[in-house]
Amino acid sequence: MTRKFTLEEKQKLVTKYFSGESVRSITKISGVPSSTLYSWIKLYRPDFESKEKLLTYKEVQQLRRTVERQSDMIAILKSVNCTVYSPLRDKLYELEKLYGKYSVHVLCDSLEVSRGTFYNHIWRNKKENTLSAKRREEFKPIIKEIFDSHKQIYGAKKSQLF
């Protein structure tokens, strides 16, 4: 006559298997046939296993990072006053408000803005106290002088003198 095992006993034997104990040693100690133990292993495997294979630590970490990234993107989309289809200028100003709070990759991916465009907006397109604004002011009189000296005709050949 065979003995009936409770759900807890079955799960305990399956846990022993997943902790590294061999099927042979488990069947020897418990008296459960190996075919029965294999069917229990299929039924009561831990949650972190898919039907095809066990997930590795690296895969679990990758899934966690993906979930974090998606959560950040949702938070960004909820906090901005524009959509993905808004004009680029609106998206850039909204993302600028969140700069430093989230990574630039996540910010740009959430509103589909290229990172180069975003960095250009942050570093160069502000009108006051930027390097490009200072250079513009520095070269403006020189360019104006060349323009005036060539009868106000400005082109590639004329500006090569510069």
Confidence check: pLDDT of 162 > 50: no
The gap between the terminal CA atoms of the chain, to the nearest Å, is 103
Q: Alpha helices of the chain — where are they, by DSSP H?
A: 7-18, 23-30, 34-43, 57-79, 88-98, 104-111, 115-123, 131-149, 156-159
Confidence check: pLDDT of 15 > 80: yes
Residues 14 and 41 sit within 8 Å (Cβ to Cβ): yes
Residue 160 pLDDT: 55
Tens digits of per-residue pLDDT, 100-147? Answer: 899 999 999 999 999 999 988 887 765 555 666 777 788 888 888 877
Residue 113 pLDDT: 94
Give me the mean pLDDT over the 51-61 stretch.
Answer: 73
Distances (CA, A) of 10 to 41, 52, 96: 9, 22, 57
Residue 134 pLDDT: 75
Residue 75 pLDDT: 95
More confident of the two residues 11 and 78:
78
Tens digits of per-residue pLDDT, 65-108? Answer: 999 999 999 999 999 999 999 999 999 999 988 988 999 999 99
Residue 157 pLDDT: 59
